[in-house]
Structures are given as C-alpha cells and as structure tokens.
Amino acid sequence: MLKDFLNNPPEPVSVFESMNATVSEDEVRFAFFEASNMQAATEYMAGSERIILISDCTYQTNHQRLVLGSLGLAVLHRDDHGKVRCRFWPVMFSVSEAEDESAYDLLCKAFIDKTGAFAAMQRQFPGACIHRDLQHVKKNIKDNAGKLQDTNLKTYITDVVEFSAKLSQPSEFHTVWKDTLGRLRNEWHEKCGSKDRLV
C-alpha cells in the first residue's frame, strides 16, 4: 500500500523525488506535499520579514507504528479580540519508521528544495534560532523548579513563558524577559547569597 502511494500518489499529492525515498520491510522513508499549498507558502515567505518554522512528528496513529512528520510555518495573527494567536501551517510531510536525524534531514531537504525562495536555509540556517516547543519548555521548568523545591518559582516562570510566547514583537519579548530575569536574580541572591548564581 505504501509502495503504491510512493509510486503513484493520489491527486493532488506529490512525492518528493529523492534517492533516499524508500519503502521496504526494513525501512520506510519518503516526503510528500501538495503543490498549490506549497506555492502559497512560498509566496507567503517571500513577502514576510520574519519566518518561523515548526517541525514535529506524531506517534501511534497507525498499526504499522510509522511516524508522520511535518514541517511548516508558524503564522502569527490577531483574533477578533486583539489577542495574538499562532496557527501552524503544515507544508511538507514525511513518513518514516523512526523519528531520527535522517528523517528530519529528508523533511528539511524536501522543504528547502521545493520552496526555492528560502534557498539560504541550505547554508546551515544562518541567523536562525531553534526553539523547543512550549510543552517541552514548561516540562523543563517543572523539572528544574522541583529540584529547587520552589513551587512558586515554577508557577511564576510558567506564567511568564506562556504570556511571552504570544508576543508578536521581539522588542516586547526582550523587555518582558529582561525584567523577569532581573527580578529572579535579585530574589535568588537575597535567598541564597551573592556567591550563588541563577542559571
């Protein structure tokens, strides 16, 4: 069934042509996209001053236990109430037997190749910032705050993280975290002494 998809994908799906694309008993690895969606994303990126990419994979969605990967754009917009929202715009997809470096390499290569306006990404993403998603950030906060046995710290930082994640301007994000880190350093020094550092 997967071989049929790879060799003769249904309309309007296109499979990314790659020497690494394969479907066998030992390995499954290929990327695919929808042409008009890809074209719309390319035009969007060409007219954008700042581009945010998101990539992730899903698990346990099929009985073969294959992994569905996606790479696309984070589109910031304001809702009817004036709040900044983030919507994921999936552009390139992949199917593989594992979420590993090879799978992400194919996903990124396919995205770069098909969105020609973003060819600069081929030079190791110069100037790009790589962030973990909000769920993992909050888990890290919970784990590290637990080590300090400070429940108030976990709540406070989590609230700031969730608030700042919705800010649309880098200057706003910088101001919020500059103030937050300054407060944390002062409170930490008062509790533990100046010789200790807040990392």
Question: The pTM is what?
Answer: 0.59
Domain identity same for 179 and 91: no
Domain identity same for 91 and 140: no
- Which of 99, 122, 145 represents a domain boundary (last residue)? 122
What is the reported pLDDT for 134?
67
CA distances 151 to 9, 22, 142, 154, 186, Å, are 52, 49, 9, 5, 18
Backbone φ, ψ for residue 39 (5° rounding): -65, -40
b/e burial code for range 38-69 (CB count within 10 A of at least 16 → b):
beebeebeeeeeebebebebeeeeeeeebbeb
Q: How confident is the model at residue 116 (pLDDT cuts 50, 70, 90)?
A: low
CA distances 69 to 13, 18, 27, 97, 188, Å, are 15, 16, 15, 11, 41
Domain identity same for 117 and 143: no
Please indicate, yes or no, if residue 80 is contained in any of the structural domains. yes
Domain identity same for 139 and 179: yes
Please indicate, yes or no, if residue 150 is contained in any of the structural domains. yes
- Encoding tokens for residue 114? 């098909």
- Looking at residues 173-192, what average pLDDT do you find? 78
What is the reported pLDDT for 122?
44
Domain identity same for 64 and 138: no
Q: How confident is the model at residue 34 (pLDDT cuts 50, 70, 90)?
A: very high
List pLDDT tens digits, range 125-179.
Answer: 555 555 556 666 777 777 776 666 667 777 888 888 888 877 767 788 889 888 8
In the chain, pLDDT over 70 holds for what percent of residues?
A: 77
Please indicate, yes or no, if residue 197 is contained in any of the structural domains. no
Domain identity same for 141 and 52: no
- Which of 90, 122, 154 represents a domain boundary (last residue)? 122
Please indicate, yes or no, if residue 198 is contained in any of the structural domains. no
Q: How confident is the model at residue 196 (pLDDT cuts 50, 70, 90)?
A: very low
Q: Quote the domain boundaries for residue 63.
A: 2-122
